[in-house]
């Protein structure tokens, strides 16, 4: 009879807290399978990959990491990838912002749910499918080419180069960004905007002085997500043609065509670290901005 | 609060343009897959011939993709939901770091993960040549989505207090997990399950490097048809894939609309 009330004591008491801690600790073993799988199939293999990048490829004198940063063809590929990803990110943010503002400000209109469903459906499309859709629209047999030939007599084919890739990136980045920005626009405190309007601020000034600062952390986070996604994209490029010089294709070529595993490993590690660092920095920044408010 | 007319008109115009940009190509692909001769146009008549040909050529990839997705789902449920509960119990810094770690296979390009798997485990012959190799890749890629969704389901409704109360009444860990935690997190777990299946069925970047000629999945078959088949067959195959995605996406949107404020979906296929 004495033990029961003690066990049921409020958790704020010392014994209670210790009991709660011990109770929590008893749960730890159920997380072991997930941890084991992650360590065995991701963490250790990744460490091995990073180690392989330090090896010297056949017929070379320095480690693959050194080659990757010194040989122009590798950093040219890296620069290409960064430029394309950055361009696609900025274009996506610029296009997604008005869409998100419109959808957030008009929560009730006929057909809104269907419209949202259409905008979000492409979230599930893998890169290969996006590449195919780009070919269907801007490829040799695409709609754009047919129209262009009918109107001007000149063919217009964008799909198999950087322009096609840019369109593909916009295609998979837009649905990812619209949802994130919509939530952020919904979160803006309307009282600020109303106060500014009462004080006579024009719509344009309200947008610049109130909305954009309030959205800065969401824009940063969404931008980082776009950039990281674009940097690692492989399926889209793969469908459009393997002659486009971006890092994922370079890695794939080194691995499959030249069996140059050290360089493929070094490039993968550089690409992985770069995308992770961008995401981490943006999340830290967005977190700080959220706390500062 | 009034919005300027210019603002509303611009927003509407861009929204419609983006919708056309996203859905137009899909309609194009669907019509190409059902047209007798795409270059002649719809005048050549509609046909299911191409879909039948896809079934003949690629039915095995469709079944294999479903099998891989279901096994992946089973594994992520079995290991991800318990991990989500442990992370819920420890809301501190360490747990955040651990969740960040688990999310790395999504943040880091799939190509890097696939290469890492190949250099470490590729020499294990039976594993390399079996579907299990693909399942491992898919589990790594989808697990964070399951953990996050299940955790979101465990946040509300004072679950920890309920669980402690059940412990005080003498319930075993097994009973508490299956009778209290899992039912409370039900909608989160279902969202996670739909996400996992959707992502697994469409996964290409990892699978392309992990597959063998005998373990081709649907997206691998798609890439193959894009490279070597006539446009109508490739389109019909894409149509089959879209039809497989449709119920999953509808389910996801329905659940997301019920469980989150803004109806946002946290999902992104491998690009």
Output the domain CATH number for residue B63.
1.10.3720.10
Residues of A whose CB is below 8 A from B6: 203
Q: Is residue A255 part of a domain?
A: yes
Spatial separation of the C-alpha atoms in residues A100 and A213, rounded to whole Å = 16
pLDDT attached to residue B45? 84
* Straight-line distance from the first to the last Cα atom of chain B, in angstroms, rounded to the nearest whole number: 40
Give yes or no for residue B200 having a pLDDT over 50: yes
Cβ within 8 Å, pair A197-B238: no
Give yes or no for residue B264 having a pLDDT over 70: no
Q: Range with the lowest mean pLDDT among A14-28, A130-144, A166-180, B238-252?
A: A14-28
What tens digit of pLDDT does each residue of A153-188 get? 888 888 888 999 999 999 999 999 998 899 899 888
Cβ contacts below 8 Å, chain A against chain B, sum to 288
Choice between B27 and B2, residue whose per-residue pLDDT is larger: B27
Same domain, B147 and B35: no
pLDDT attached to residue A43? 94
pLDDT attached to residue A134? 95
Q: What does DSSP assign to residue A188?
A: S
Q: Is residue B269 part of a domain?
A: no
pLDDT attached to residue B83? 94
**Contact with chain A for residue B102, Cβ under 8 A:** yes
**Contact with chain A for residue B115, Cβ under 8 A:** yes
Q: Is residue A87 part of a domain?
A: yes
* Straight-line distance from the first to the last Cα atom of chain A, in angstroms, rounded to the nearest whole number: 52
Residue B124, burial from CB neighbour count under 10 angstroms (0-12, 13-18, 19+): exposed
Cβ within 8 Å, pair A34-B105: no
Same domain, B29 and B97: no
Q: Best of B33, B83, B96, B116 to disrupt the A interface by mutation (most A CBs within 10 Å)?
A: B116
Q: Range with the lowest mean pLDDT among A68-77, A231-240, B70-79?
A: A68-77
Within 209-238 of B, beta carbons closer than 8 Å to A belong to: 209, 219, 222-223, 226-227, 231, 234-235, 238
pLDDT attached to residue A293? 44
Q: Is residue B265 part of a domain?
A: no
Facing A183 at nearest CB: one of B29, B249, B262: B262
Same domain, B26 and B156: no
pTM, full prediction: 0.89
The shortest C-alpha distance from B205 to chain A (Å) reads 6
The shortest C-alpha distance from A61 to chain B (Å) reads 23
Same domain, B143 and B12: no
Whether the Cβ atoms of residue B28 and residue B20 lie closer than 8 Å to each other: no
pLDDT attached to residue B65? 96
pLDDT attached to residue A82? 93
The shortest C-alpha distance from A102 to chain B (Å) reads 5
Domain that holds residue B28: 1-47
Cβ within 8 Å, pair B262-A182: yes
At A262, which CATH number?
A: 1.10.3720.10
pLDDT band at A67 (very low <50, low <70, confident <90, very high): confident
What tens digit of pLDDT does each residue of B206-231 get? 999 999 999 999 999 999 999 988 89
pLDDT attached to residue A150? 87
**Contact with chain A for residue B166, Cβ under 8 A:** no
Spatial separation of the C-alpha atoms in residues B219 and B203, rounded to whole Å = 7
Spatial separation of the C-alpha atoms in residues B239 and B226, rounded to whole Å = 13
Facing A234 at nearest CB: one of B11, B85, B111: B111
Cβ within 8 Å, pair B219-A95: no
Same domain, B9 and B133: no
What chain A residue is nearest to B136 in terms of C-alpha separation? A41
Residues of B whose CB is below 8 A from A20: 164
Cβ within 8 Å, pair B86-A28: yes
Angle at A268 between CA A265 and CA A54, to 5 degrees: 35
Give yes or no for residue A4 having a pLDDT over 60: no
Count of structural domains, chain B: 2
Q: Is residue A26 part of a domain?
A: no
Same domain, B148 and B227: yes
Cβ within 8 Å, pair A124-B248: yes
Cβ within 8 Å, pair B14-A134: no
Same domain, B11 and B74: no
**Contact with chain A for residue B141, Cβ under 8 A:** no
Q: Is residue A4 part of a domain?
A: no
Q: What does DSSP assign to residue A108?
A: -
Q: Is residue B134 part of a domain?
A: yes
pLDDT band at B261 (very low <50, low <70, confident <90, very high): very low
Give yes or no for residue B186 having a pLDDT over 80: yes
ipTM entry: 0.91
Same domain, B43 and B64: no
Q: Is residue B197 part of a domain?
A: yes
Q: Range with the lowest mean pLDDT among A162-171, B57-66, B202-211, B258-267?
A: B258-267
Domain that holds residue A98: 63-292
Within 46-65 of B, beta carbons closer than 8 Å to A belong to: none
Count of structural domains, chain A: 1
The shortest C-alpha distance from A95 to chain B (Å) reads 7
Residues comprising chain B, all counted:
271
The shortest C-alpha distance from A185 to chain B (Å) reads 10
Residue A231, burial from CB neighbour count under 10 angstroms (0-12, 13-18, 19+): buried
Average pLDDT over every residue of A245-260:
89
């Amino acid at each position: 009879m004495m033990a029961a009330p003690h066990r049921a004591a409020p958790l704020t008491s010392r014994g209670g807290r210790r009991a709660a801690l011990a109770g929590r600790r008893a749960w730890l073993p159920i997380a072991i399978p997930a941890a084991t799988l992650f360590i065995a199939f991701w963490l250790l293999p990744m460490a091995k990959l990073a180690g392989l990048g330090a090896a010297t490829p056949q017929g070379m004198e320095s480690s693959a990491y050194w080659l990757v940063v010194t040989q122009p063809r590798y950093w040219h590929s890296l620069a290409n990838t960064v430029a394309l990803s950055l361009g696609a990110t900025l274009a996506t943010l610029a296009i997604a912002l008005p869409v998100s503002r419109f959808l957030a400000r008009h929560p009730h209109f006929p057909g809104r749910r269907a419209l949202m469903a259409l905008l979000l459906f492409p979230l599930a499309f893998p890169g290969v499918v996006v590449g195919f859709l780009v070919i269907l629209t801007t490829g040799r047999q695409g709609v754009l080419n047919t129209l262009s030939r009918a109107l001007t007599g000149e063919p217009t084919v964008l799909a198999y180069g950087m322009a096609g890739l840019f369109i593909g990136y916009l295609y998979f980045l837009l649905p990812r960004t619209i949802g994130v920005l919509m939530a952020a626009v919904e979160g803006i405190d309307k009282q600020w905007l109303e106060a500014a309007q009462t004080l006579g601020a024009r719509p344009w000034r309200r947008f610049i002085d109130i909305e954009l600062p309030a959205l800065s952390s969401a824009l940063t986070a969404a931008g980082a997500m776009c950039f990281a996604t674009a940097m690692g994209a492989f399926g889209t490029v793969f469908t459009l043609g393997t002659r486009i010089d971006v890092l994922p294709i370079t890695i794939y070529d080194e691995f499959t065509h030249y069996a140059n595993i050290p360089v493929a490993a070094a490039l993968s590690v550089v690409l992985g670290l770069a995308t992770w660092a961008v995401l981490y920095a943006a999340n830290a920044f967005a977190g700080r901005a959220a706390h500062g408010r | 609060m009034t919005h300027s007319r210019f603002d509303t008109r611009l927003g509407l115009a861009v929204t419609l343009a983006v919708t056309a940009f996203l859905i137009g190509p899909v309609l194009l692909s669907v019509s190409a897959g059902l047209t007798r001769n795409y270059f002649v146009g719809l005048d050549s008549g509609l046909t299911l011939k191409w879909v039948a040909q896809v079934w003949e050529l690629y039915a095995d990839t469709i079944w294999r993709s479903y099998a891989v997705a279901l096994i992946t789902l089973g594994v992520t449920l079995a290991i991800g939901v318990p991990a989500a509960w442990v992370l819920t119990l420890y809301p501190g810094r360490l747990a955040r770091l651990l969740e960040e770690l688990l999310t790395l296979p999504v943040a880091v390009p799939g190509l890097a993960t696939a290469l890492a798997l190949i250099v470490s485990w590729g020499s294990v012959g039976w594993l390399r040549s079996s579907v299990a190799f693909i399942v491992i890749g898919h589990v790594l890629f989808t697990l964070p989505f399951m953990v996050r969704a299940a955790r979101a389901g465990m946040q509300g409704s004072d679950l920890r207090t309920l669980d402690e109360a059940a412990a005080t009444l003498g319930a075993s860990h097994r009973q508490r997990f299956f009778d209290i935690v899992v039912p409370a997190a039900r909608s989160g777990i279902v969202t996670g399950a739909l996400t996992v299946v959707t992502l697994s069925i469409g996964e290409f970047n990892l699978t392309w490097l992990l597959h063998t000629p005998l373990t081709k999945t649907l997206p691998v078959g798609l890439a193959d048809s894009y490279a070597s088949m006539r446009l109508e067959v490739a389109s019909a195959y894409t149509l089959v894939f879209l039809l497989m995605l449709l119920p999953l996406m509808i389910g996801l949107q329905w659940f997301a609309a019920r469980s989150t404020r803004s109806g946002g979906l946290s999902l992104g296929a491998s690009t």
